[in-house]
Amino acid sequence: MKTVLIVEDVAETRLWLTGIVETAFEGCKVTCAGRLREGLATLQSNLFDLALIDLTLPDGSGFDILRHIRSHCPDTLSVITTIVSNDSNIVAALSGGANGYLLKDQPPERIIQQLKQLADGMPALSPSIARRIMQHFSNTGPAAEPDAELTGREQEVLALISRGLRNIDVAQHLGVSESTVASHLKAIYRKLGISSRAEASWHASRLGLTPGGRNNGSKV
């Protein structure tokens, strides 16, 4: 990660997060915003590899930042950094496209480790959040057995998406067009009843999908 945006209203916490980010990604450039309006303005004039977003801001919600990134900055990874850990916010954040959900009451070294995982395509999740997500999906689960519904190619796409690859990367890996990948992904979301890549990663893990694995000879 070469460029990182931190949206956090508490100055002391901004400084603390800056130190964490600079340790996790040596040599990166960190930009800070203390309000929603400032964060949105910064995103409109700069490109970032990663954004750390607090949910509670003086002039609005961090979810507005998340929605802006999803719509206008699809290559920017978004991680919620907060002290709020209720289920509704967790589900809303991950469904809204967040690549992680970190609680600020963790030791700095643990947050650093979790942020570093982003480079490997893994979501940055506090352990307690990961447990709650697993509990949520074990209670809800898919309406139908997804393994029986996904085609071989859809399973390949799901496996690659779960590694954090962008649509264009998946297209290059499979030798197909980006629009074809988008169509497969739309079908995957519809069949599994999901709306985010975090949920897709969970289902890929549940099905034991790995790129080049059991689906390796399928066609478009």
Residue 216: pLDDT above 60? no
- Report how far residue 200's alpha carbon sits from residue 194's, in angstroms, rounded to the nearest whole number: 7
The b-or-e profile of 91-125 (16+ CB within 10 A means b, else e) is bebbebbbbbbbbbeeeeeebbebbebbeebbbbb
Structure tokens given for 44:
């409109």
94-146 confidence digits (pLDDT tens): 878 899 999 999 999 999 999 998 888 888 999 888 887 777 666 555 544 54
Nearest-CA neighbor of 31 among 44, 111, 92? 44
Domains parsed from the chain with CATH numbers: 3-138 (3.40.50.2300), 141-207 (1.10.10.10)
